[in-house]
């Protein structure tokens, strides 16, 4: 351990990730063998709140209810089936090695660590790879209709950042099918009365009593009533914070408010700067736009990405004088295949996104804005026939055509990167517990497994790993010590105080009666985030962003206008509460990006790159997870550092070229 | 590129479940034909907020046609005039300059109105809770490849499973029947060996719940299939009927 202290000046004293001792491959087995459990009679007496019904939330709520815990489950939509996990298209990774192409738990672990640019915890990622196979079995048992081969066995496809085919899929709707599987398991428990569902509720605060999470404050979105809920432990799986950018591939209600409230109650916020820009989204096309649509990464299996080789052709295309199909093969620059011969079009997302930006910034972009590149299926259609391409991607092609009014079977798709997923999130230890006792965080909302960049088809894997196989175990290690704690009254002062602070905040917002709509201010924040905290970041830009975000905050709290009343359904008020928190997250992202003076994964600091324009990590100084501790409104947060010890993997510059 | 149209909107406004509703007429100008229907509604709402009026309440979330949250009845069709899509995927290029568009909520006895265009579709969740699952706990299941499933069977199950639970089928049905929704789930699980075991029991439990919740009977008009944004086929209703008959024989 002395060696670590010599090489980096990292503050390690305060952060304990509680990683079990022993060899990497035995840690999780050892943990489970020695952890505390709760007996069936006691489980019935313990209440657990689960906020969110996405892959992580629904699978956790269902699994814990099956075990016998009394679960309260909250979702913001009208039904748990609508959580945004449903929109995941491409697939879910597992180390089954059904294809006999050399896959293994170790290789999935290694690819995920490398894909995350060596900024994730080894022990967590190994456990993720270890439980991945069980997820596929579980989903099959639930009746998830995964794609099959003619022999009746499960089919696989390839995804970015891997040289094996380990991605299981259900057409282009894998997230939908996995979520409906988890939803069916959850519905079964709701029917049995072991889960009480609260739909159209939004969590607005966490209640902490004597240092332990003991409940939440949530607003009934139909009646506007602010309500109190007690539980022995609180689990939050409310997704990521990509909507801080206003335009993202997230759903309209995807928000960071639960995370921000946890942060303000003492949970560290880790690595907020790590946001994933997805390379294959439909380009922005107008001011009225409300969201961006992703085209699955699976398209890169058969689609080839290119821009014109000459600037003249690019200009002609932008001016509408030439079409993509006018360009001959030798007039096209398949820049990913050129730059990364070993992985080609299947480089990880961060690499593909930056390469697209590089081409467009250099003047080779297409579309009327010049901010687009081609994703071309003509070679695949010639090789496989249109029917095969339709069978694989039909629903995605249809979606593209409906939005863009262009047929991708005949002309190449146009794509451009967009904010998609956030690797950062609430800090959790090996048990998925935050720095507040009894408060757990799962799925995209936590920071744990993807380091600085997530590989495709790994979000579904992590959400379900957390919910089915990790949290239902680890939470018992905490709850075993809570069996003597009786159910508490929500009349306790801690509940009353938390409710009052929420009600005061709502009153404040309603009383501003300014001149700007919530969306107008949100859009202003989004533009700052995209321009200065987006794909390419630098010191001056980030400092500028921090100033601008302060102005947005001031504008918001003095000039926002919310019509209607608070004690009723009020969509504008809901949005305002979320935007207030996006402003906090935006600032934290910029702050984190500023302190991290290196490039890694989705975090690209223009000052730190190799001569070839690749991300340049600085393991000497930045081999840590940055954990931000809230110090009060208007105060600067403190940066704590969890050192990332690489015991089993030798770190190197990521290389997708050879 | 960048073509715009001017529209007249007749929008159903209703303050709450028990309030009396009525159509309000709004003029909206310079709508980009590249915008989606919900983006057009956003523009309308921004306009209303600018006039310091309450915006129109409507359900929406993913805006890419998969969450099933959006639910508008547009010019007499659930999810509007274009086929195989949800309201959020409907684009304004499907409308003409000067056109009047009538926008209503789902009208179905089992889907009470919450506010304006927003309805309560909790009944669909209750039907699933009554049996729309395989009785299996987390853990202790066989390997995913232990039971081979023919590709054609898996594909057909997938087609049934593509239902997004939006409620368009019941909204389109003159009887307010939820048969297509129920059939899609029963059929998906009955096709697969994992769900086949409980097929008859499931069909009975889900149909009983559907009847209890106030959905109407199926008279095979086919309106559900025609309006389904995911093209779920009424052939699944035939499979539901078979499973249901088996259950009746077993009684």
Per-residue pLDDT at A70: 98
- Measured in angstroms, the CA of A636 and the nearest CA of chain B are apart by 34
Residue B73 predicted with pLDDT over 90: yes
Of residues A121, A157, A332, A349, which has the active-site annotation? A349
Same domain, A412 and A506: no
Residue B229 predicted with pLDDT over 50: yes
Same domain, B63 and B158: no
What is the predicted ipTM? 0.98
The structural domain count of chain A equals: 2
**Whole-number mean pLDDT of chain A?**
95
Contact map slice: A 62-81 vs B, CB within 8 A:
62-63, 66, 77-81
Same domain, B81 and B188: no
The structural domain count of chain B equals: 2
* Cβ distance of B133 and A187 shorter than 8 Å: yes
Confidence of residue A652 (pLDDT cuts 50, 70, 90): confident
* Cβ distance of B158 and A145 shorter than 8 Å: yes
- For the segment A328-348, the average pLDDT, to the nearest whole number, is 94
Would you say residue A142 lies in a domain? no
Would you say residue A577 lies in a domain? yes
Please identify, among A352, A383, A417, the residue that sits at the C-terminal boundary of a domain: A417
- For the segment A617-638, the average pLDDT, to the nearest whole number, is 96
- For the segment A528-548, the average pLDDT, to the nearest whole number, is 97
Confidence of residue A6 (pLDDT cuts 50, 70, 90): very low
- For the segment A94-105, the average pLDDT, to the nearest whole number, is 97
Q: Which residues form the domain of B29?
A: 4-114
Same domain, B148 and B80: no
SS3 of A96-121: CCCCCCCCCHHHHHHHHHHHCCCCCC
Would you say residue A541 lies in a domain? yes
Chain B partners within 8 Å of A144 (Cβ): 161
Residue A11 predicted with pLDDT over 60: no
Which one of A32, A85, A92, A145 makes the best mutation probe of the B interface by having the most chain B beta carbons within 10 Å?
Answer: A145
Same domain, A499 and A632: yes
Residue A83 predicted with pLDDT over 90: yes
Confidence of residue A612 (pLDDT cuts 50, 70, 90): confident
- For the segment A115-144, the average pLDDT, to the nearest whole number, is 97
Residue A7 predicted with pLDDT over 80: no
- Measured in angstroms, the CA of A219 and the nearest CA of chain B are apart by 16
Residue B77 predicted with pLDDT over 70: yes
Confidence of residue A10 (pLDDT cuts 50, 70, 90): very low
Interface check for A147 against chain B (CB to CB < 8 A): the answer is: yes
How many percent of chain B have pLDDT more than 70?
99
Confidence of residue A362 (pLDDT cuts 50, 70, 90): very high
Residue B2 predicted with pLDDT over 70: no
Tens digit of each residue's pLDDT (9 = 90 or more) over A179-191: 999 999 999 999 9
CATH (domain of A316): 3.90.700.10
Per-residue pLDDT at A51: 98
Tens digit of each residue's pLDDT (9 = 90 or more) over A89-99: 889 999 999 99
Q: Which residues form the domain of A508?
A: 490-643
Please identify, among B114, B140, B160, the residue that sits at the C-terminal boundary of a domain: B114
Please identify, among B114, B149, B170, the residue that sits at the C-terminal boundary of a domain: B114
Confidence of residue B81 (pLDDT cuts 50, 70, 90): very high
Residue A363 predicted with pLDDT over 60: yes
Same domain, B8 and B108: yes
Same domain, A288 and A407: yes
* Cβ distance of B42 and A472 shorter than 8 Å: no
Distance CA A281, CA A297 (A): 9
Q: Which residue has the tokens 């905490």?
A: A478
Would you say residue A255 lies in a domain? no
Same domain, B39 and B86: yes
N- to C-terminal Cα separation, chain A: 34
Distance CA A353, CA A414 (A): 14
In this complex, the residue of A144, A171, A290 whose CB is nearest that of residue B42 is A290
Same domain, B170 and B98: no
Same domain, B61 and B175: no
Tens digit of each residue's pLDDT (9 = 90 or more) over A139-176: 999 999 999 999 999 999 988 888 899 999 998 899 99
* A511 DSSP 8-state letter: H
A349 is catalytic: yes
Same domain, A525 and A623: yes
* Cβ distance of B144 and A191 shorter than 8 Å: no
- Measured in angstroms, the CA of A516 and the nearest CA of chain B are apart by 8
* Cβ distance of A140 and B144 shorter than 8 Å: yes
Would you say residue A472 lies in a domain? no
SS3 of chain B: CCCEEEEEEEEEECCCCCCCCEEEEEEEEEEECCCEHHHHHHHHHHHHHHCCCCCCCCCCCCCCCCCCCCCCEECCEECCCCCCCCHHHCEHHHCCCCCEEEEECCCCCCCCEEECCEECCHHHHHHHHCCCCCCCCCCCCCCCCCCCCCHHHHHHHHHHHCCCCCCHHHHHCCCCCCHHHHHHHHHHHHHCHHHHCCHHHHHHHHHHHHHHCCCCCCCCCCHHHHHCCCCCCCHHHHHHHHHHHHHHHHC
Chain B partners within 8 Å of A170 (Cβ): 158, 161
Nearest to A68 by CA among A237, A193, A236, A214: A193
Interface check for B124 against chain A (CB to CB < 8 A): the answer is: yes
CB contact at 8 A, A364 and A357: no
Beta strand extents in A52-164 (DSSP E only): 70-75, 92-93
Same domain, B99 and B141: no
Same domain, B93 and B175: no
Tens digit of each residue's pLDDT (9 = 90 or more) over A268-277: 999 999 999 9
| Two structure tokens written together for A60 | 């956790």
- For the segment A610-631, the average pLDDT, to the nearest whole number, is 94
Lowest mean pLDDT among A307-311, A401-405, B138-142: A401-405
Please identify, among A401, A417, A433, the residue that sits at the C-terminal boundary of a domain: A417
Confidence of residue A3 (pLDDT cuts 50, 70, 90): very low
Would you say residue A397 lies in a domain? yes
Per-residue pLDDT at B153: 97
Tens digit of each residue's pLDDT (9 = 90 or more) over A419-473: 999 999 999 999 999 999 999 999 999 999 999 999 999 999 999 999 999 999 9
Same domain, B49 and B100: yes
Please identify, among B114, B133, B151, the residue that sits at the C-terminal boundary of a domain: B114
CATH (domain of B19): 3.10.20.30
| Two structure tokens written together for A455 | 């590989």
Residue A2 predicted with pLDDT over 80: no
Distance CA B77, CA B79 (A): 6
Collapsing DSSP states into helix, strand and coil, what is residue A328?
coil
Residue B193 predicted with pLDDT over 80: yes
CATH (domain of B143): 1.10.1060.10
Residue B197 predicted with pLDDT over 50: yes
pTM metric for this prediction? 0.96
Per-residue pLDDT at A9: 36
Residue A259 predicted with pLDDT over 70: yes
How many percent of chain A have pLDDT more than 70?
98
| Two structure tokens written together for A388 | 């095969």
Residue B154 predicted with pLDDT over 50: yes
- Measured in angstroms, the CA of A374 and the nearest CA of chain B are apart by 19
Please identify, among A391, A417, A443, the residue that sits at the C-terminal boundary of a domain: A417
Same domain, B126 and B108: no
Per-residue pLDDT at A439: 98
């Amino acid at each position: 351990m002395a060696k670590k202290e010599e090489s980096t000046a990292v503050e390690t004293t305060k952060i304990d990730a509680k990683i079990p001792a022993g060899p990497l491959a035995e840690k999780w087995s050892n943990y489970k063998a020695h952890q505390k459990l709760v007996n069936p009679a006691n489980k019935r007496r313990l209440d657990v709140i689960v906020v969110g019904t996405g892959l992580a939330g629904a699978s956790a709520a269902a699994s814990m209810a099956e075990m016998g815990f009394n679960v309260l489950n909250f979702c913001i939509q009208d039904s748990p089936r609508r959580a945004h996990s449903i929109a995941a298209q491409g697939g879910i990774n597992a180390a089954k090695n059904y294809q006999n192409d050399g896959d293994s738990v170790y290789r999935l672990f290694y690819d995920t660590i490398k894909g995350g640019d060596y900024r994730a915890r080894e022990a967590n990622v190994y456990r993720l790879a270890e439980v991945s196979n069980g997820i596929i079995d579980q989903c099959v048992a639930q009746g998830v209709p995964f794609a099959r081969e003619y022999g009746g066995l499960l089919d696989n496809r390839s995804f970015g950042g891997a040289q094996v085919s380990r991605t299981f899929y259900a057409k282009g709707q894998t997230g939908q099918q996995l979520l409906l599987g988890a939803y069916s398991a959850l519905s079964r428990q709701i029917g049995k009365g072991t889960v009480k569902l609260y739909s159209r509720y939004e969590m607005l605060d966490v209640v902490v009593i004597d240092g332990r999470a003991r409940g939440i404050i949530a607003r009934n979105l139909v009646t506007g009533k602010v309500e109190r809920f007690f539980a022995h432990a609180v689990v939050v799986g409310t997704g990521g914070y990509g909507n801080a950018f206003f335009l993202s591939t997230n759903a309209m209600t995807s928000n960071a408010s639960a995370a921000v409230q946890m942060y303000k109650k003492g949970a560290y916020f880790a690595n907020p700067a790590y946001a994933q820009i997805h390379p294959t989204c439909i380009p922005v096309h107008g001011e009225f736009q409300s969201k961006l649509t992703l085209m699955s990464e699976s398209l890169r299996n058969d689609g080839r990405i290119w821009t014109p080789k000459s600037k003249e052709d690019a200009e002609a295309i932008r001016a509408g004088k030439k079409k993509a199909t006018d360009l001959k093969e030798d007039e096209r620059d398949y820049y990913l295949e050129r730059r990364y011969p070993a992985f080609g079009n299947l480089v990880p997302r961060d690499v593909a996104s930056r390469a697209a930006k590089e081409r467009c910034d250099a003047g080779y972009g297409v579309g009327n804005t010049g901010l687009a590149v081609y994703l071309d299926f003509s070679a695949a259609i010639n090789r496989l026939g249109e029917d095969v391409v339709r069978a694989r991607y039909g629903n995605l092609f249809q979606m593209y055509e409906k939005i863009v009014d262009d047929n991708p079977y005949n002309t190449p798709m146009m794509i451009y990167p967009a904010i998609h997923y956030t690797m950062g999130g609430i800090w959790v230890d090996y048990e998925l517990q935050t720095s507040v006792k009894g408060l757990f965080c799962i799925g995209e909302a936590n920071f744990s497994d993807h380091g600085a960049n997530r590989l495709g088809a790994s979000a579904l894997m992590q959400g379900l790993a957390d919910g089915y196989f990790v949290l239902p175990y680890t939470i018992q290690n905490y709850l075993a010590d809570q069996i003597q704690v009786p159910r508490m009254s929500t009349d306790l002062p801690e509940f009353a105080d938390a409710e009052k602070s929420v009600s005061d905040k709502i009153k404040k917002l309603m009383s501003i009666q300014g001149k700007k709509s919530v969306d107008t201010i949100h859009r202003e924040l989004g533009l700052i985030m995209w321009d200065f905290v987006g794909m390419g970041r630098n010191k001056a830009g980030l400092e500028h962003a921090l100033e601008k975000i302060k102005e947005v905050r001031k504008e918001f709290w003095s000039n926002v206008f919310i019509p209607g009343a608070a004690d009723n359904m009020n969509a504008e008020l809901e949005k305002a509460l979320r935007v207030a928190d996006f402003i906090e997250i935006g600032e934290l992202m910029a702050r984190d990006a500023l302190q991290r003076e290196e490039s890694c994964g989705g975090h690209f600091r223009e000052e730190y790159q190799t001569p070839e324009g690749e991300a340049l990590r600085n393991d000497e100084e930045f081999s840590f997870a940055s954990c931000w501790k809230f110090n009060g409104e208007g105060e600067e947060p403190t940066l704590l550092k969890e050192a990332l010890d690489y015991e089993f993997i030798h770190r190197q510059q990521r290389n997708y070229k050879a | 590129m960048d073509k715009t149209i001017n529209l007249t909107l007749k929008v159903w406004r209703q303050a709450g479940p028990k309030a009396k509703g009525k159509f309000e007429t709004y003029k909206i100008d310079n709508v980009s034909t590249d915008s989606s229907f919900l983006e057009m509604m956003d523009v309308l709402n921004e306009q209303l907020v600018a006039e310091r009026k309450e915006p129109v309440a409507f359900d929406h979330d993913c805006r890419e046609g998969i969450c099933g949250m959006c639910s508008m009845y547009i010019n007499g069709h659930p999810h509007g005039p274009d086929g195989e899509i949800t309201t959020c995927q409907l684009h304004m290029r499907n409308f003409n300059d000067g056109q009047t568009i009538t926008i209503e909520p789902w009208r179905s006895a089992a889907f009470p109105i919450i506010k304006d265009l927003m309805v309560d579709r909790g009944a669909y969740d209750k039907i699933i809770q009554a049996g729309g699952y395989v009785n299996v706990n987390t853990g202790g299941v066989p390997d995913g490849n232990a039971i081979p499933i023919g590709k054609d069977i898996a594909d057909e199950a997938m087609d049934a499973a593509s239902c997004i639970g939006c409620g368009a089928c019941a909204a389109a049905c003159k009887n307010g029947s939820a048969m297509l929704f129920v059939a899609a789930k029963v059929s998906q699980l009955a096709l697969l060996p994992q769900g086949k075991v409980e097929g008859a029991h499931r069909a009975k439990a889900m149909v009983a719940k559907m009847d209890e919740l106030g959905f109407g009977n199926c008279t095979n008009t086919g309106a559900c299939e025609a309006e389904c944004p995911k093209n779920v086929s009424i052939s699944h209703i035939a499979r539901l009927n078979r499973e249901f008959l088996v259950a009746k024989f077993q009684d």
